[in-house]
Amino acid sequence: MVIIASASEAQAGNGNLADGQLLIRAQVDERAGTLMTAERPAAAVAALDARVGEFAATLDHATVVPLDLAVDPTEPLRPDPFAGQGRTAFGLVQQIPGEDHARLLPLYVASPVDRRGGGRTSPRASS
């Protein structure tokens, strides 16, 4: 697994991050594809959240907003040689001007936060 940090830059096509925002993604092997999302146990999701929290604690006035790739939780899990068991996330297709190909852009959703326990819930986390 790779954790990718993507800071906002003044370039077209880098999404909609503001100047002071950073997107950190936990990614499976890139050969699995942009939209493949691995099924992770709740403990693995919590460990990733803790690592992001540790990093955020090193920044001035950081706020962490948990995001998940948008998936249909009723879709059956399917095996992937690079991601293990997972589901395909929803995405958008963006035609690149002047090019003969397009790219897939994953859709993210804010995760519900469990206010009682301080953690978050995830449709992909299993117990």
Q: What is the pLDDT of residue 76?
A: 93
Residue 77 backbone dihedrals phi, psi, to 5 degrees:
-65, 145
pTM: 0.66
15, pLDDT greater than 60: yes
Domain that holds residue 15: 2-126
125, pLDDT greater than 80: no
The mean predicted confidence, pLDDT, of the chain is 77
pLDDT band for position 3 (50/70/90)? very low
pLDDT (tens digit, 9 = 90+) per residue, 22-74?
Answer: 888 887 787 887 788 888 899 998 999 899 999 999 988 888 888 888 999 89
Of 12-16, 56-60, 96-100, the range with the lowest mean pLDDT is 12-16
Q: What is the pLDDT of residue 62?
A: 86
- Rounded Cα distance between 53 and 115, Å, is 16
Inter-residue contact 78 to 84 (CB < 8 Å): no
pLDDT band for position 77 (50/70/90)? very high
Domains in the chain, number: 1
